[in-house]
């Protein structure tokens, strides 16, 4: 059953067409990856879905309802949440306080937001740092904190925007394992990542954006052998084929 659907989504910034006529569906419980060269429109698509900015044209449906034009807050309350590409916690608050604030975003009420925050921090492996200052965290730990913040809102579906960006290989593996745990818990997941090997290891299906257009979708294996996808990436990794780009990512 379809949980998220985009119909003819276009987003223009002045003369720049960031995404153009993008239509897609994500089924309940599915894990879908979104790839594409730099500037292809991936983050814009995620922001358009989650109410950061409304589409110029087209509609977004979540759980059968038209959510086009709703605020981030309203969309979060429906159970559709997104991690931020650049994590900016409240520096003056401890980890548990940051996540407890997250638990209240979207207007959801929990009997004890701190208890919920503590559970989420444990789930992402930050229980020992619960009362620490966010300034003491590594990039990998900040990404885990961001995941805890989003999970605290009790989403049915999570959009991960480059959750492995800027991490070393070991941290990347840890974060991707965590995304795998979230998928195993039954959440529907849509994720962008430049670390394609990692993305393909957790995605059942992969969609490809190039120049704002959805040019292909299929299983990770189909995508790696798709001529249009290989061509889109050849521009970025001149002289290499897609499998090399994936192996090196």
Ligand X SMILES: Nc1ncnc2c1ncn2[C@@H]1O[C@H](COP(=O)(O)OP(=O)(O)OP(=O)(O)O)[C@@H](O)[C@H]1O
**How far, in Å, are 12, 43, 85, 101 from residue 57 at the CA level?**
9, 17, 24, 33
Residue 218 lies near ligand X (rule: CB under 6 A): no
The nearer residue to ligand X, 18 or 200, going by C-beta atoms, is 18
Pattern of binders to ligand X over 6-35, x per CB under 6 A? -------x--x-x-----------------
Which one among 3, 9, 33, 42 touches ligand X, defined by CB under 6 A?
Answer: 42
Q: How far is the CB of 23 from ligand X (least distance, A)?
A: 17
Which one among 44, 134, 153, 224 touches ligand X, defined by CB under 6 A?
Answer: 44
Residue 86 lies near ligand X (rule: CB under 6 A): no
- Output the furthest CA–CA distance in the chain (Å, rounded): 57
Q: How far apart are CA 152 and CA 160, in angstroms?
A: 15
Pair type for strands 188-192 and 31-35: parallel
Angle separating helix axes 169-184 and 139-151, nearest 10 degrees:
10
Candidate ranges 36-44, 56-64, 93-101, 166-174; the one touching ligand X (CB under 6 A): 36-44
**How far, in Å, are 18, 49, 102, 164 from residue 168 at the CA level?**
29, 29, 27, 9
The nearer residue to ligand X, 44 or 203, going by C-beta atoms, is 44
Residue 95 lies near ligand X (rule: CB under 6 A): no
Candidate ranges 41-49, 67-75, 89-97, 237-245; the one touching ligand X (CB under 6 A): 41-49
In this structure, what token pair is assigned to residue 247? 């192996």
Q: How far apart are CA 158 and CA 173, in angstroms?
A: 19
The nearer residue to ligand X, 39 or 180, going by C-beta atoms, is 39
The burial class, CB within 10 Å (0-12 / 13-18 / 19+), for 56 is middle
Residue 36 lies near ligand X (rule: CB under 6 A): yes
Candidate ranges 39-47, 95-103, 134-142, 237-245; the one touching ligand X (CB under 6 A): 39-47
Residue 41 lies near ligand X (rule: CB under 6 A): yes
Q: Is 132 helix (H, G, I), strand (E, B) or coil?
A: coil
Contacts with ligand X, residue ranges (CB under 6 A): 13, 16, 18, 36, 38-44
């Amino acid at each position: 059953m379809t949980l998220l659907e985009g119909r003819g989504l276009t987003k223009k910034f002045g003369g720049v067409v960031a995404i153009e006529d993008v239509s897609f569906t994500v089924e309940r419980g599915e894990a879908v990856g979104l790839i594409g060269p730099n500037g292809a429109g991936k983050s814009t698509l995620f922001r358009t879905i989650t109410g950061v900015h409304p589409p110029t044209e087209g509609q977004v449906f979540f759980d059968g309802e038209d959510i086009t034009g709703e605020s981030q807050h309203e969309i979060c309350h429906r159970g559709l949440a997104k991690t931020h590409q650049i994590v900016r916690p409240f520096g003056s608050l401890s980890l548990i306080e940051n996540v407890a604030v997250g638990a209240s975003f979207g207007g959801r009420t929990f009997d004890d937001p701190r208890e919920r925050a503590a559970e989420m921090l444990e789930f992402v492996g930050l229980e020992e740092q619960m009362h620490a200052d966010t300034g003491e965290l590594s990039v990998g730990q900040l990404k885990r904190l961001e995941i805890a913040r989003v999970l605290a809102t009790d989403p049915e579906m999570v959009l991960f925007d480059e959750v492995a960006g800027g991490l070393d290989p070991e941290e990347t593996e840890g974060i991707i394992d965590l995304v795998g745990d979230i998928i195993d818990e039954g959440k529907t997941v849509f994720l962008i990542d430049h670390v394609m090997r990692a993305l393909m290891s957790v995605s059942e299906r992969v969609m490809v954006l190039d120049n704002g257009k959805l040019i292909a979708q299929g299983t990770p294996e189909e995508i790696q052998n798709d001529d249009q996808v290989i061509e889109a990436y050849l521009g970025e990794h001149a002289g290499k084929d897609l499998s090399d780009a994936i192996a090196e990512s």
